[in-house]
Amino acid sequence: MRLTLAASAAVAVAVLLAAGYSYVSVRDQLRHQVDERLQDQAQRISDSQLFGRVLDRIPRSPLASEQPIVQLVGADGSTSRPANQRGRIPVDAADRAVASGRATKHFRDATVQGAHVRVVTLPAAPGVAVQLTRSLAEVDRNLADLRLRLILAGLAGVALAAVLGLLVARSALRPVRRLTSAAEHVAETQDLSASIEVHGRDEVARLATSFNEMLDALNHSRVQQRQLVADAGHELRTPLTSLRTNIEVLARQDDMPARDRECLLADAVSQLEELTVLVGDLVELAREDHPPTPDELSDVRLDDVVERAVHRARLHAPQLQIRIRENTPAITHGNRALLDRAVSNILDNACKWSPPDGTVDVALTGGELTVRDRGPGIDPEDLPHVFDRFYRAPSARSMPGSGLGLAIVRNAALAHGGSVTAEPAPGGGTVMRLRLPVQPTPPDEFDDEVPLVEGQVTSG
């Protein structure tokens, strides 16, 4: 309704301006024609020596009220008229100025014997001017008729604009009403599969497209949440069941041998540790589903992150040799905690699959982190799924882990505009590559190098 009223108001203003301009233009044109004829007649009178004869030649109107009136006016304001003429033209200062020679001519409207007339004053002789009138009755009738027509046309135009505006508004707002209905349907039913048909490429169509994309994103997020809950429930069920079984056995068997009790307690502790890791991974994964906010981003030294992650990995796996083949200084703009967790997970995965007394090689060059282990490698059938949530290859189901570590790595890489891949290594094992965008930084930014961790190997 407001759109219709706005359109009607705009049309009304446009019609009013157009009608006003048309009326003024026609009025000025009609009066200009009257002034030209009146001046021509008055000029012929002023040029004539025989005032009375010229007066007789002036065209007469059949209506007495429209008869032209002529008179002479002096510089002092005195007037003289033909003896048989009725009516007197009022004299003003401008008329006296023309008679005295201080002005060349003067046009004005006046009322003579109740009639609306046009008056012209022209010089006739030194100290004398001639005045002549012409009735404006016909002009006034034409203008009155024009006003009526313009008013009727304006009202009809506004009414037509209101009707057309209502029809156009209904047509233009139909997609908006569909969008409103869809939004209300989603709010009432929580059905994110609803969508709107999009026609055209206008702003309303773009709005509908954005709404559909928003619903798709929300639906995808809900599906991921449900899948995460389902997978988490499945993964949590196993350690909880085992832990519950062990606790029940310990509670029922009072006379259990000490060795068996120690085995059950060790198994319970192991299950608790696995449960703790799984819960931590779930919390981390849920947090990483949301991209870091600008306040959480800063310039991060990747070489520093790699150094510290390698140091922790050596502490957790002292039986392995973790070598830093190359660690080129590099800076990326991102979330330090997220990047630290991603690098640590890649190293933990390499350590888990490495044989006892094995070697893990680490290299950082130009924003690409490469971690190579010498384990059994990844089966080609499992390679496309190693970064999926809760995915565990058949060979890994007997090993500790939740299947979330590499999923966290992939989320971190995507959140920073990077990527992560896994591929077989020449001679056996697996190569993990984490690629992150780095900033071009002058060499003097790295003058103060991070000190090497004790025991670090910088070359093979």
For residues 233 and 335, state if they share a domain: no
What is the reported pLDDT for 289? 55
| Whole-number Å distance between alpha carbons of 417 and 276 | 30
For residues 19 and 119, state if they share a domain: yes
For residues 27 and 116, state if they share a domain: yes
Domain finish residue from 288, 316, 343: 288
Q: Is the dihedral of CA 150, 155, 158, 161 positive or negative?
A: negative
Domain finish residue from 111, 142, 173: 142
Assess contact for 452 and 460: CB atoms under 8 A.
no
Residue 64 is part of a domain; what is its CATH number? 3.30.450
| pLDDT by position in tens, the chain (length 460) | 676 777 778 878 888 888 899 999 999 999 999 999 998 888 888 776 545 454 444 455 455 456 788 889 999 989 888 877 777 889 999 999 999 999 999 999 998 888 899 999 999 888 999 999 998 999 999 999 999 999 998 888 888 888 887 787 777 677 777 777 877 877 787 777 777 777 777 777 787 788 788 888 888 777 767 766 666 665 667 677 777 887 877 777 777 787 877 887 887 777 777 677 667 666 666 665 556 677 778 899 999 999 999 998 998 888 999 999 999 999 999 989 889 988 998 998 899 889 988 999 999 998 899 999 998 888 888 888 888 876 666 655 555 556 677 888 888 898 889 999 999 998 888 999 999 999 876 555 555 444 444 334 333 3
Question: Residue 248 sits in which domain range?
Answer: 203-288
Does 455 reside within a domain?
A: no
What is the reported pLDDT for 204? 72
Shortest CA distance to 289 belongs to which of 452, 162, 412, 379?
A: 412
What is the reported pLDDT for 452? 42
Shortest CA distance to 343 belongs to which of 315, 377, 381, 371?
A: 371
Kindly give the pairing relationship between strand 321-327 and strand 359-365.
parallel
Does 6 reside within a domain?
A: yes
For residues 272 and 302, state if they share a domain: no
What is the reported pLDDT for 52? 47
Is 66 exposed, middle or buried, given 0-12, 13-18 or 19+ CB atoms closer than 10 A? middle
Does 182 reside within a domain?
A: no
For residues 231 and 349, state if they share a domain: no
What is the reported pLDDT for 460? 32
What is the reported pLDDT for 419? 93
Contacts 24+ apart (CB under 8 A), 139-145: 139/27, 139/30, 139/31, 139/34, 140/116, 142/26, 142/30, 143/23, 143/26, 143/27, 143/30
Number of domains composing the chain: 3
For residues 126 and 12, state if they share a domain: yes
Shortest CA distance to 133 belongs to which of 176, 86, 177?
A: 86
